[in-house]
Structure 1
Amino acid sequence: MELYRTWGFRLDDTPFQYLNSPKEMAASAGSAPLLLLAGIFVALLASGWGLYKLVVGPLKPLPSWFGRRRAALASLLYVALLVVPLRGGIQQIPVNQSDVYFSRMAFANHAAVNAPWNLMSALILRKSEQPTKPFMADRTAQQLVAAIYPLAVGAPNRPDSTVSYLAETRPNVLFIILESFTSKLVGSMGGQRGVTPTLDSLARTGIAFTNIYAAGDRSQKGLVSLLSGYPNQPTTSIIKFPRKTEKLPHLSRQLATAGYRSRYYYGGELAFANMGSYLQTAGFEHIIERSDFSLAEQNSKWGAHDGALFARVLTDLKQQPQPFFVTAFTLSSHEPFEVPMTPKFPGTTESDLFRSSVYYTDYTLGRFLKEAKKQPWYAHTLLVVVADHGHHLPGNSSNQSPNKFKIPFILAGGALRPEARGKVVKTIGSQTDVAATLLRQLNLPASDFQWSRDLLARNPVPFAFYCFNNGFGAVSPAGVVTFDNVSRQIDSVGVKVSDAQIQLGKAMQQVSLDDFARK
């Protein structure tokens, strides 16, 4: 019950993918009402036992003529007979989730799915590496995708010059990934004011992208989208397949060809969700994680809080060779939202705790930047600030809602030209577009990042594609359409959304999943 509230989809085999890091998985449900859930569990056990006693009564001994061999044979026959109800009847095609999907409300459909059946179905019929049933002919899908990402389908790239906003050709790059930073809590992005004063200040003095959508809904998915410019998959993630991630482009490797030295910082354990193997493949020279922090600094259920993280980064940058590409991934705004300071906002609801944890991360980022500006390297540094994904809080946005996926993206720092400060870019874009946007500013080739495009080009196409659990969303100036892959039906669609946008969303999923399967 708690995992559904946190993850937003019906329980399947996903928890088994985190068995190598159970502490982190437990932390995802760390704010669960344990007494209430335990009480419900005990009540279910008691009611089940009582119903059994009422209907069945005490067990009777077997007749003398019904021995163990006959009992074993009868058990085998019962198991064989269970095949029919398990597959839903004797029809040609067994039942699946779409047989019980009946509503446009995702929660109602999830409630109709039998959880044990869903789990076994995911374990036995796992086909995450295979493309889904195509929506259209491959050539048609590729033609549609070519309008947004021509390189992804082998089409010629449309010439479109970028606008340079950097004061130097090879600035340092400080890439900060903020855990769960939803635009709903960033005032400069149209969200609640007073929660992220540091980000709002950066937006006023840098370049603020106000219509950016995360490609997925988990940290490991956001990592791949940001550092490899690669789209997400609805029911799995490419990060779980090292043989596939080896074929992805990586910002760290691309920048290394231009002389950049790299480091990656994370206060948690990189064994979680296979992030460690991905970062090794990405070519980071030095990777700092939880075990590299002192025990006193590991003051979070996830590891070291963001205050300790930024302090470590600040210390190391004093000796870091330049130009550098340093990535820091925060974690304090992850469930269970416990931070080492008095909560900024009163209240004990989950939304209040989440809001306070976001404020804490923003506060520690502000302290870090205040000290960083005193260092000689800051004047030659481009600051990239972006979220790994959004969040259903505040407001409990639905699993497929675009509000859940909208995230902040800001370019700032001493390397920006004066005329860039305060610029607002309203172009609708994806998290995957960050990589190409950065590389084009550095005047480096971005052709390997085929699913990424320059948002600072003179004529970018306003469009974003994102995946939720077994579905996708497509965003354009006309509105948003979300599509459920299980029922193969539209979840929601804006009044002004055209059939062409719906087809483009289907084509994006079809082509991207086919690309994923071939890697």
Structure 2
Amino acid sequence: MRLIVTCAFIGGCIFGIRGRVGYNPIKISEAYYCNDSFLNQLGINPAFNLLTSSLDDMRKENKEIHLMPYGKAITQARASLGITGKIDSTNVLSRDIKTCGPAKKHNVVVILMESMSASLMQTFGQNERLTPNLDSLFNHSLAFTNCYSAGIHTNQGMTAALYSFPAIMSRNLMKGTVTPHRDGIPTVLKRYGYHNLFFMTHEAQYDNMKAFFSTNGYDDIYSQENYPKNEVVNSFGVSDHFLFNYSLPIINKVSKSGKPFFATLLTISNHPPYIIPSFFHAKTSKPETQIVEYADWAIGDFLEKAKKQPWYKNTVFVILADHGKLVGNSNCELPVSYNHIPLMIFGADIPTMKCNNLMEQIDVMPTLLQLLNMSYKYNGFGINAINCKRTKAFYSADNEIVGRDAKRCYIFNPSMNRSFCYDVAPNGKLRQNKNIKQFSYLRNYVFSMTQTAEYTTRQSRLH
């Protein structure tokens, strides 16, 4: 009898610690129920906050990075971005972006595709025809051929593309004992009267998404908790086609309110374990390529249905990847296919043209808002690719940071304190170059931008 009582007591304690019977234990995100961060924080135990805050600071990925002195880094970062004038010690990159004439309040739909490396598209040399829809769209869009993701994780792709903040190696910038505040596309559009929606396939608390997006500009968030249980296909929730079909009537309803809308859809199917719906018949034989075919089909199917809606002609669409994946053989310490991603913008008032200049996810916000002719206060790391030419780019993975331009690629591993240098051939191939002095300007560039991002992160936590 004692054994039974003991087992029941231990089981009750474990259940109490987990807080739920779902795939993941209960997390801070579950306490968030509105857009007021103060009210959301009231539901979190202060002792729990203190403990998790201490544990967060001890995590390896959250340790402070020391690449160069903050003063030197900030000075160089501001110069790289063309920022002059007085420095705000908290928002060191702050500047006012002003446009002439009225804003174009087009609806905006952003689709962030899971793991869609540019190398998976025929446009970029893929031998198999995996992405006919994306390849066709790329030729009828404002398309960027040389775009790079900020990091190699979904949370990094979202904070970069939506909030213009770069990745800092393996760190998750959406998490924290107190959910971080970011200004980005959602917060700017909200000030212009937009209704903002976010659709994800998985649980809302994954990567602290519900808390982060509720705090940073989104009005409505739809996740696995909103979908029928029989549509959940794996631990990452529902399939892409269900997500798109679910979102369409909601978008239609919001569009009838008279407000412009901003809808963000995050796909997942191109992430293992691959679940290919039984109704979809792929042309290739391997699951790794079949799932890419399916993901491309789901995008095409959604757009065909969207074309029939009254809001379609007044909508700007942005399609890009959250990050890439390894395609083919590894060509260096951080294979280019992990970060080289497609980016296309099309729809209302968007010109059809190809841009071959360097482009980053952090540039999406200033570029999109320029296309919408919107003025705003900006503290991000990106540039407006419509009016400016990016000459250098920087990005990272869990263990490396990268600086590159049209001719050279510099990779640095902080834990090893080791540099890797490559020349970039006209066809994009990398060739090792041991003359590190030729890469000093890229080293200074990526060090200064990464160190400034570190400073900005720590200042936001203090305030």
Same fold per superposition (TM over 0.5): yes
Instruction: Answer yes or no: is 1:149 the counterpart of 2:84.
Output: no
Distance 1:203 1:281 in 2: 33
2:449 corresponds to: 508
1:33 corresponds to: none
Instruction: Answer yes or no: is 1:410 the counterpart of 2:410.
Output: no
Give SS of 2:254's match: coil
Is the alpha carbon distance of 1:513 and 1:328 closer, same or farther for their aligned partners in structure 2, counting shifts above 3 Å? Answer: same
2:10 corresponds to: none
Is the alpha carbon distance of 1:359 and 1:441 closer, same or farther for their aligned partners in structure 2, counting shifts above 3 Å? Answer: same
**1:393 Cα deviation after fit:** 3.3
Give SS of 1:239's match: coil
Tell whether the 8 Å contact from 1:387 to 1:409 is kept in structure 2 after alignment.
Answer: yes
Instruction: Answer yes or no: is 1:316 the counterpart of 2:254.
Output: no
Is the alpha carbon distance of 1:23 and 1:188 closer, same or farther for their aligned partners in structure 2, counting shifts above 3 Å? Answer: farther
Distance 1:412 1:268 in 2: 27
Instruction: Answer yes or no: is 1:195 the counterpart of 2:136.
Output: no
Distance 1:404 1:475 in 2: 15
How many pairs does the alignment contain?
Answer: 392
**1:240 Cα deviation after fit:** 1.5
Tell whether the 8 Å contact from 2:155 to 2:173 is kept in structure 1 after alignment.
Answer: no
1:20-53 Cα offsets, whole Å, 9 max, x none, are 999589xxxxxxxxxxxxxxxxxxxxxxxxxxxx
Tell whether the 8 Å contact from 1:430 to 1:463 is kept in structure 2 after alignment.
Answer: no
Is the alpha carbon distance of 1:157 and 1:250 closer, same or farther for their aligned partners in structure 2, counting shifts above 3 Å? Answer: closer
Instruction: Answer yes or no: is 1:253 the counterpart of 2:187.
Output: yes
1:233-282 Cα offsets, whole Å, 9 max, x none, are 12322212253622x21321210111111111111112112122111112
Is the alpha carbon distance of 1:405 and 1:369 closer, same or farther for their aligned partners in structure 2, counting shifts above 3 Å? Answer: same
Q: Which of 277, 283, 302 is the matching residue for 2:217?
A: 283
Q: Which of 188, 194, 213 is the matching residue for 2:148?
A: 213
Instruction: Answer yes or no: is 1:450 the counterpart of 2:383.
Output: no
Tell whether the 8 Å contact from 1:150 to 1:156 is kept in structure 2 after alignment.
Answer: no
Q: Which of 374, 387, 392 is the matching residue for 2:326?
A: 392
Is the alpha carbon distance of 1:249 and 1:156 closer, same or farther for their aligned partners in structure 2, counting shifts above 3 Å? Answer: closer
Q: Which of 201, 218, 225 is the matching residue for 2:160?
A: 225
1:50 corresponds to: none
Instruction: Answer yes or no: is 1:126 the counterpart of 2:92.
Output: no
1:359 corresponds to: 293
Tell whether the 8 Å contact from 1:429 to 1:462 is kept in structure 2 after alignment.
Answer: no
Give SS of 2:264's match: strand
**1:389 Cα deviation after fit:** 0.8
Instruction: Answer yes or no: is 1:262 the counterpart of 2:191.
Output: no
Distance 1:446 1:231 in 2: 19
**1:488 Cα deviation after fit:** 1.2
1:109 corresponds to: none
Is the alpha carbon distance of 1:160 and 1:291 closer, same or farther for their aligned partners in structure 2, counting shifts above 3 Å? Answer: closer
1:186-221 Cα offsets, whole Å, 9 max, x none, are 222444451111111111111111111110111111
1:336 corresponds to: 273
Distance 1:240 1:21 in 2: 22
1:467 corresponds to: 396
Distance 1:304 1:483 in 2: 38
1:486 corresponds to: 415
Distance 1:355 1:367 in 2: 18
**1:124 Cα deviation after fit:** 10
Is the alpha carbon distance of 1:345 and 1:20 closer, same or farther for their aligned partners in structure 2, counting shifts above 3 Å? Answer: farther
Give SS of 1:447's match: strand
Distance 2:239 2:249 in 1: 16
Distance 2:57 2:190 in 1: 42
Q: How does 1:63-142 map to 2 (within 5 A)?
A: 126=59, 128-135=61-68, 137-142=69-74
Tell whether the 8 Å contact from 1:242 to 1:278 is kept in structure 2 after alignment.
Answer: no
Larger % of strand: which? Answer: 2
Distance 2:334 2:394 in 1: 12
Is the alpha carbon distance of 1:398 and 1:337 closer, same or farther for their aligned partners in structure 2, counting shifts above 3 Å? Answer: farther
Using the aligned pairs only, state the percent identity.
23
Tell whether the 8 Å contact from 2:98 to 2:376 is kept in structure 1 after alignment.
Answer: no
**1:161 Cα deviation after fit:** 8.5
**RMSD of Structure 2 on Structure 1 (CA):** 3.1
Tell whether the 8 Å contact from 1:131 to 1:510 is kept in structure 2 after alignment.
Answer: no
Is the alpha carbon distance of 1:19 and 1:224 closer, same or farther for their aligned partners in structure 2, counting shifts above 3 Å? Answer: farther
Query: TM-score normalised to the size of structure 1?
Result: 0.69
**1:390 Cα deviation after fit:** 0.8
1:434 corresponds to: 364
Is the alpha carbon distance of 1:156 and 1:380 closer, same or farther for their aligned partners in structure 2, counting shifts above 3 Å? Answer: closer
Query: TM-score normalised to the size of structure 2?
Result: 0.77
1:77 corresponds to: none
Is the alpha carbon distance of 1:21 and 1:194 closer, same or farther for their aligned partners in structure 2, counting shifts above 3 Å? Answer: farther
Tell whether the 8 Å contact from 1:265 to 1:287 is kept in structure 2 after alignment.
Answer: yes
Instruction: Answer yes or no: is 1:327 the counterpart of 2:264.
Output: yes
